[in-house]
Amino acid sequence: MRSVGVEEELLLVHARSGEPLALSGAFLAAADRSAGQPPPNGGGPGHAFEKELQQEQLEFATRPVTQMGELQHEIVRCRAEARRHAASAGALVAALATSPLPARPSMNAGKRYDWLGRQFGLTAQEQLTCGCHVHVSVESDEEGVAVLDRIRPWLPVLTAMSANSPFWQGEDSEYASYRSRVWNRLPSAGPVDVFGSADRYHEQVRAMLGTGVLQDEGMVYFDARLSASYPTVEIRVADVCLDARTPVLLAALVRALVETAARAWRAGEPPARIGTHLLRLAAWRAGRSGLDGPLLHPQTMTETSAERAVRALYAHVRQALAEYGDEERVREGIADLLDRGNGARLQRELLRTRGSLAAMVTDCARITTGSPL
């Protein structure tokens, strides 16, 4: 059974105003003290937290697991710990993929972050976005690249399902996932062509690094890539999700996508030759619509409803879901998500009922950690 792990990025926000706070250093110091570690610059070995690009955010990674119930427990536990450490630093944590309130992010110190700031200028300085990355184990780089080649058209559906960033600098962006648009300003981000082999994948990565535009392999920000640190494929298209159940739903779908793609490769089935230009349009459409407008069908690249696109993904991976014991969980999770909507819909509903972005953000912080509104 393939293992799966999730990385989530969270915002640190003021408890009353909802504005982002540059407190990642204080947060990590609190986490280090709690774990019995001396306060270093980054996360200590006794906890799951690390700093990210901006001081207004933090990241945690779950341990790899094989059961979705275990993954749910890991995410809920890490979010609860994040709430506790943030409180000691005078903040809340919120699973919001962009800040609804106006923000002027403060980049963390360090050679790598300094390089990013110099190289990408305002693009890096404004990059206060929070994603959800899903890692799934693969047996080899060859299998991993075969998977990457075959999951390409399905990834925009995951963006639509996870969309949780409708606001930017105090305004409604009119997108469901504006994070996806901000993130794709970076030159290596977005969908990619079919590679065909692990050798070809690594050759392309080396060529990208050889241009000098990127400093290291970690800056190859493909929508899905081979992990540089683990024997996994890493799917990076999702917004961080408000409800802790949603990343579990995404993880189950992603693992089933990986398994379905690996089986197709072993059976000699070629990947769909959908052009990257069409995938960019599908990704834009997913970021614009979320679940509240049309998407492009992953198999035909023609306009369809969000529900039909999600149902097509479910049908595509249903056999793998059943064999992993995840079919019922995913079927119920999809029905619930389509009914209640994603984080973008909930944020807009909260703003209508609460009347201010500040109140909406504090409500979202409570939802993040399962506290009652």
HSE-up of residue 186 (Cα within 13 Å, Cβ side)? 24
Give the DSSP letter of residue 140: -
Give the span between the Cα atoms of 360 and 299, in whole angstroms: 37
**Domain housing 284:** 4-9+109-368
Q: Which helix (H) or strand (E) holds 252?
A: helix 245-266
Q: Would you place residue 347 in the very low, low, confident or very high pLDDT band (cuts 50, 70, 90)?
A: very high
Res 34 pLDDT > 90: no
Q: Assign residue 147 the CATH number of its domain.
A: 3.30.590.20
Q: How many CB atoms lie within 10 A of CB 34?
A: 15
Question: Please, are residues 204 and 188 in contact by the beta-carbon 8 Å criterion?
Answer: no
| CA 225 to chain centroid | 13
Q: Closest Cα to residue 102, out of 16, 14, 19, 10?
A: 19
Res 39 pLDDT > 80: no
| pLDDT tens digits along 42-79 | 444 578 899 999 999 999 999 999 999 999 999 999 99
Q: How many CB atoms lie within 10 A of CB 355?
A: 10
Domains held by the chain: number:
1
| pLDDT tens digits along 151-171 | 999 999 999 999 999 999 999
Which two tokens mark 265? Answer: 């490769």
Residue 66 domain-assigned? no
Angle between helices 327-340 and 245-266 (to 10 degrees): 130
Residue 98 domain-assigned? no
Residue 123 domain-assigned? yes
Residue 345 domain-assigned? yes
Residue 259 domain-assigned? yes
Which position has the token pair 């000691």?
A: 88
Residue 327 domain-assigned? yes
Residue 45 domain-assigned? no
DSSP annotation string for 96-149: -SB-SS-----BPPSHHHHHHHHHHTHHHHT--B-EEEEEEE-S-HHHHHHHHH
Residue 201 domain-assigned? yes
Give the span between the Cα atoms of 27 and 78, in whole angstroms: 13
Q: Average pLDDT for residues 240-254, to the nearest whole number? A: 97
Q: Average pLDDT for residues 279-303, to the nearest whole number? A: 98
Q: For the chain, first and last CA: distance in Å?
A: 38
Indicate the burial class of 352 (C-beta count within 10 angstroms; 0-12, 13-18, 19 or more).
Answer: exposed
Q: Average pLDDT for residues 328-356, to the nearest whole number? A: 97
Q: Is the pTM of this model over 0.85?
A: yes
